[in-house]
Amino acid sequence: MASEVRRKTTIKKLMQKKAEGERITSLGVYDAPMAQIADRVGFDLLMNGNAGPMSLLGHPDPVRVRFEEQLILTQAVARVTRYAMIVSHLPFMTYHKSKYDAITNAARMVAEGGADAVKCEGNAHTAEYIGEIVSAGIPVVGHIGMQASRRTEQSGYGKKGRTAEEAARIVESAHSFVEAGVFAFVVEQVPAEVATLLARTLPVPVLGVVAGNDLDGVYEISGDLVGYGAFPRPTHKRVFADVTPEIENALTQYREESLKGVYPPEEHTLRMDPDEYQKLLDLVA
């Protein structure tokens, strides 16, 4: 039997997967090599979140990430991705000041960046700006729960929704986002019970980050999964591979061989024809 022809992920396909109880796969990627690998593996969604500029560009705080930096990393992912839907995060204060800014920056991320959709953090108060982006014809993924760019407001990066009152506010924000027109959610660092409640009651796919696995799917950052990043790895996530020691060993060996003068070896050295070399010496004598 012939294998099914792989096609570009669409919103319709994601909704169909939720309706049929089929898991949705997603991964955070921020550069062309990782995106190319991830697209070969077969993820439904490749998300370029604010963790990309933080990890790859060394930003210690997500509020320092500039729109242009997020745009450039999105372009890198888009150039090599054929099948996954590309979702790019809109950085801090790029869609909060006005509806004009919200639509303009979202449009740039799609038209210039190559994203298929944008991802917006927020709550019930920012839902109106999300609605404007959707009304302009740009699909939006909502991000609720722990929101890195709102860490000061949320008193840090820790888990959210531990109390009934706090969880109720997260649920309220989720419903506001659905009314605004988001087609999916990322819910981060909330109790599994809250995330599962959202997945079972909302009409759109819900993807969890440290939020249990009884959802429509999970979302993780590629660098966290393979041990590659500029900052200490999170302690609450599984590492499937650790490439950092392998990279460090390879670079150490290269440095040592360079110091000893044995790199590059003869088989990797370009040599000139002896007669041509003699002609050169005669010409420059």
Write out the catalytic residue numbers. 188
Give the span between the Cα atoms of 176 and 243, in whole angstroms: 41
Give the span between the Cα atoms of 269 and 261, in whole angstroms: 13
| 8 A C-beta contact, residue 6 and residue 83 | yes
Joined tokens for residue 53: 């500029």
Q: Which of 143, 153, 137, 127 is closest to 88 using CA atoms?
A: 143
The number of beta carbons lying within 10 Å of the beta carbon of residue 86 is 24
* Three-state SS annotation for 168-232: HHHHHHHHHHHHHCCCEEEEECCCHHHHHHHHHHCCCCEEEECCCCCCCEEEEEHHHHHCCCCCC
Q: Which of 247, 251, 210, 242 is closest to 223 using CA atoms?
A: 242
Report which residue type is found at 21.
Answer: G
| 8 A C-beta contact, residue 150 and residue 172 | no
Which neighbouring-strand residues pair with 61? Answer: none
